[in-house]
């Protein structure tokens, strides 16, 4: 079994390093959102721009491994709880706003 929490923590740290040293920051330009649910069934409305972030790409890959692809409807489970999702969204938002 893969240790997802450890992997997510490493990805968050890597994102902090990359966004903290980057002199060029991009503002959110895409209008629209998508909905995901954490493994504790908390609902998150995420800007479409976040789909390009490596941390979300990895979350989707891990979700597919763990739960498979949804046939109809929203992505029901991300491989992390609400606290981790909030931390990742907040981190990405702060790095995009700067």
Q: Kindly list the domain boundaries of the chain, sorted by start residue.
A: 37-98
Longest C-alpha distance within the chain, in Å?
41
Closest-CA residue to 56 (of 92, 30, 17): 92
What is the reported pTM?
A: 0.63
Residues 48-84: pLDDT tens digits? 988 888 888 888 888 888 877 777 777 777 788 899 8
pLDDT category of residue 28 using cuts at 50, 70 and 90:
very low
DSSP letter at 24 equals -
Q: Which residues, including other chains, have CB under 8 Å from residue 29's CB and lie 6 or more apart?
A: 49
């Amino acid at each position: 079994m893969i240790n997802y929490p450890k992997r997510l923590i490493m990805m968050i740290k890597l994102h902090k390093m990359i966004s903290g040293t980057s002199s060029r920051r991009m503002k959110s330009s895409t209008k629209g959102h998508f909905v995901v649910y954490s493994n504790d069934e908390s609902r998150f409305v995420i800007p479409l721009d976040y789909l390009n972030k490596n941390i979300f790409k990895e979350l989707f890959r891990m979700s597919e491994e763990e739960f498979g692809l949804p046939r109809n409807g929203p992505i029901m489970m991300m491989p992390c709880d609400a606290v981790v999702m909030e931390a990742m969204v907040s981190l990405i938002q702060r790095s995009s706003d700067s």
